[in-house]
Amino acid sequence: MTKANALPIGVFDSGVGGLTVLRALRQRLPNEQFIYLGDTARLPYGTKSGDSVLRYSIQAAEFLVNQGIKYLVIACNTASSVAVEPLRERFAPMPVIGVIEPGSIAGCAASKSGHIAVLATEGTVRGGAYQRAIARLEPNAQVSAQACSLFVALAEEGWTDGAIAEAIAHRYVDELFRNDSQIDTLLLGCTHFPVLAAALRAVIGPAITIVDSAETTARAVQAELIDRGLLNTAGPVLGRMPECRGRTDAQDRPSAPILQATDSPERFARVGSRFLGESFDASRVELVDLAPTAAR
């Protein structure tokens, strides 16, 4: 195994939703070290122009690359729709992946009828990224896309199951199935949405396949690491946690994700714990500024 294998994987998102991707990555790749960057100072990306999102994505990616990473994961649907190819060109030969392509591949593979529903934010639906990706893979597929703006608020407030979540899910999903009764696959096209999977399952029943772009992205990352010979097979790297930096009594501990945010570590920790699937406090979150990177 080379030194490159031991380098961390960089993951960025506009906020905390991408922590569902990080969670899936950690479960599938327990030997890897991760650096997660949430650009919370400029969220949401979905309301910004494509040019602005591309600029933000380049700044976030450069910040991670400058820390020394072997792989870049764009854990944001909006950023994935505009930045994957530019970032691949900019940082070649380092591999770069977004969440849209893996999710679309898995959605096509799961659907027997060829009728696929995509649940996403308004910006992702309006941009048509999933529709285009699925059409490239399966030109005859029938894609129905539904913007589910309230799902983001539900997820961040922790109202992920029960009567309220299911009632709102009904309002979104029932319309899809009224328009296309042959839908057999539901693709979650927002990184916030996997935490609402239980509510969605209660609404759609057991026959419809739910495809989680977080899990499919993690599988794709694993496959590419193996293909490129970059998989860390030596076990987790020991390193200092962010809250231990500068302390002489800090103890090395098994690798945990390095968490960075561009604004409000307190909110990042409070809301992000739900998405990562484990509790952490603001001391675990390093406040960073992307401006120096942008200025170079």
Question: Is 15 assigned to a binding site?
Answer: no
Sequence letter at residue 148: C
Handedness of CA 194, 211, 54, 146 (dihedral sign): negative
Question: Is 185 assigned to a binding site?
Answer: no
Q: State the CB neighbour count (10 A cutoff) for residue 181.
A: 9
Q: Is 25 helix (H, G, I), strand (E, B) or coil?
A: helix
Residue 90 has phi, psi (to 5 degrees) of -70, -35
Handedness of CA 251, 252, 253, 256 (dihedral sign): positive
Question: Is 46 assigned to a binding site?
Answer: yes
Handedness of CA 284, 287, 290, 295 (dihedral sign): negative
Contacts of 209 by beta carbon, 8 Å cutoff, 6+ apart? 110, 111, 184, 185, 186
What's the Cα-to-Cα distance from 274 to each of 116, 181, 210, 279, 295, rounded to whole Å? 28, 33, 20, 7, 34
Question: Is 181 assigned to a binding site?
Answer: no
Alpha helical stretches, state H, 142-257:
149-157, 163-179, 197-204, 213-228
- Answer yes or no: 76 catalytic: yes
Residue 47 is classified by DSSP as G
Question: Is 77 assigned to a binding site?
Answer: yes
Q: Choose, from 108, 148, 190, 244, the residue flagged as catalytic.
A: 190
Contact status, residue 11 vs residue 75, Cβ threshold 8 Å = yes
Q: Choose, from 76, 108, 148, 244, the residue flagged as catalytic.
A: 76
- Answer yes or no: 148 catalytic: no
Contact status, residue 54 vs residue 61, Cβ threshold 8 Å = no
Alpha helical stretches, state H, the chain:
19-28, 50-65, 77-91, 100-110, 122-127, 129-137, 149-157, 163-179, 197-204, 213-228, 265-276, 291-295
Q: Could you give the residue numbers annotated as active site?
A: 76, 190
Mark the binding-site residues for substrate, compressed into ranges. 13-14, 45-46, 77-78, 191-192
Mark the binding-site residues, compressed into ranges. 13-14, 45-46, 77-78, 191-192
